[in-house]
A = this chain, B = another copy of it.
Amino acid sequence: MSYKFPVRSIRDVLAAFTAKPSSDRVAVHGWVRTVRMQKQVAFVLVADGSCAQGVQAVVTDPSLVKRISTGASVRLEGALVNSIGGNQKTELKVDNVTLLGAADPEQYPLHKAKLPLEHLRENLHLRTRTRTFTAMCKVRNAAFQGFHHFFQNQDFIHVNTPILTSNDCEGAGESFRVLSPESLTSYSTPPKQQPNNNNQQPHEFFGNPSNLTVSSQLHLESLNAALPRVYTLSPTFRAEKSLSTRHLAEFWMLEAEAAFITDLGQLMDLIEASIRGATDFLVKQSAEDLEVLKGFQDMNRKSSVGAGGGERGLPVNEALEMLGSGGKAFHRVSYTDALVILQKSGKSWVHPVDRWGVSLQSEHERFLAEEWFKGPVFVTDYPSEVKPFYMLDSRDSEGDRGVHGGETVACVDLLVPGIGEVVGGSLREHRLDRLEEKIREKGLGLEGLEWYLDLRRFGTVPHGGYGLGLERYLMAVSGLTNVRDVIPMPRWFGHCKY
């Protein structure tokens, strides 16, 4: 393809000069990071997100930089020269300055050099201009592409599962409802006052109530019943009233589903390989941006007294090493064995671990990953009663995974130091009769699930899959400790700006 985008980025301009120094005039476009005025000369640092440093522009006629301040957009023309000293190898000797858009220092919310993250969250629409959030966006892009790269290379098909669903069996009150304006009117108007509403039922745009998806899994299983390797990167929604630093109402999940696997070990291998593949890709593509985030993390760790290693996040370098292909194999332990570790730990737990069958809480997960195994750990074979209906019983799965204890299912959670649970997955119950039993045991109805049961009724196959919280993963590799900072426009309880 001969197409080339017509405006050169600062990175391209600098790279061309580095490859072949030339005194030709060049033009750069970008936003002003800083202006240092001296009597005879002004130094303007301009960035366009294409490289972390931007370009240092030297303006020998300071009158040219009138009204140019942090946040202003400019076009600068001049010649590049090798600079002597300083952080930059190259600087731009400017002979022409065009102010594209001013940014009044009195009003511009990002005028100050060091801004608290809270302040930036109040200015979501502008915060990508900061070095940290430029880097975050680029790391996010590279992570998404990394997962695509891994799965495409393994012949998985990327599919789009629906966002709107009539299915609510997993949501259990945490699903958002979706209504057309007319539906909402019919809900908020007493039926008697509505004309032409003979059956007194509220009008539904789709005929039946519809929700925002809480997981793509069931739909992904439908596609997996035809395409043995599928995955999706998709937005997911929970109407949870959480204000924690780890939960969003709108977040992105990577979900993958693979047919013909019968051993939970095969699923763990896939999970581990996908994370390592994406991380290797990320490290290769976004090294410079990861350095920016690492620097930001170092600065914060020095300046604040965090509430323990977890709250301050894992050092970026450690996370990348752990999750990339150079890291040690992820540990694997059964729930039952993990429970014994927790019981013998001598720790006093807020949530007791005195009984086989208790759910593992964040404090337990962190202890296992951070203090006991000191690395990512797969915890497998949880008690059936704390897991959803669709999981295969451990006894029906293959692979030796140590002690299982009571009634357990062939499932796995991946716990990562500093973050907690990043992945949840399982083999799926693929036999019709047993699946129906499980649905009834959980007290759920079969209505609305007939389509899902059909997948077992006609040509069912053993299969399994997992979901990875992309924002959780991004917290691990970016060192950013608040989930609201790893997505451009976070939405959480009470907050949906713009």
Give the interface of A toward B (CB within 8 A).
1, 3-7, 9, 11-12, 29-32, 48-50, 71-73, 75, 100-104, 107-110, 124-126, 128-129, 133-134, 137-138, 140-141, 144-145, 148, 150, 152-155, 157-167, 173, 175-182, 184, 187-188, 190, 202, 205-208, 210, 212, 218-219, 222-223, 225-229, 235, 237, 239, 241, 249-250, 252, 258-261, 266, 269-270, 273, 276-277, 280, 325, 430, 451-452, 454-462, 487-489, 491, 493-498
Q: Is A458 touching B49 in the complex (CB atoms < 8 A)?
A: no
Q: Is A5 touching B235 in the complex (CB atoms < 8 A)?
A: no
Q: Is A228 touching B49 in the complex (CB atoms < 8 A)?
A: yes
Q: Is A270 touching B178 in the complex (CB atoms < 8 A)?
A: no
| Known contacts A6-B269, A178-B212, A451-B497, A249 near B126 by CB under 8 Å | no
Q: Is B459 touching A101 in the complex (CB atoms < 8 A)?
A: yes
Q: Is A164 touching B128 in the complex (CB atoms < 8 A)?
A: no
| Known contacts A250-B164, A461-B29, A144 near B128 by CB under 8 Å | no
Q: Is A459 touching B31 in the complex (CB atoms < 8 A)?
A: yes
Tell me the bound Cα distance from A236 to B487 in angstroms.
Answer: 18
A185 to chain B, nearest CB (A): 9
| Copies of this protein in the complex | 2
Contacts of A11 in B (CB 8 A): 155
| Known contacts A173-B181, A206-B495, A140 near B160 by CB under 8 Å | yes
Tell me the bound Cα distance from A457 to B71 in angstroms.
Answer: 10
Contacts of A496 in B (CB 8 A): 162, 164-166, 206-208, 210
Tell me the bound Cα distance from A342 to B491 in angstroms.
Answer: 47
Instruction: Across the interface, name the chain B residue whose C-beta is closest to A150.
Output: B1
Tell me the bound Cα distance from A138 to B455 in angstroms.
Answer: 20
Which residue of B73, B164, B277, B489 contacts A219 across the interface (Cβ within 8 Å)?
B489
Interface centre among A190, A212, A280 (most CB of B within 10 A): A212
A183 to chain B, nearest CB (A): 8
Instruction: Across the interface, name the chain B residue whose C-beta is closest to A31.
Output: B459
Tell me the bound Cα distance from A430 to B489 in angstroms.
Answer: 22
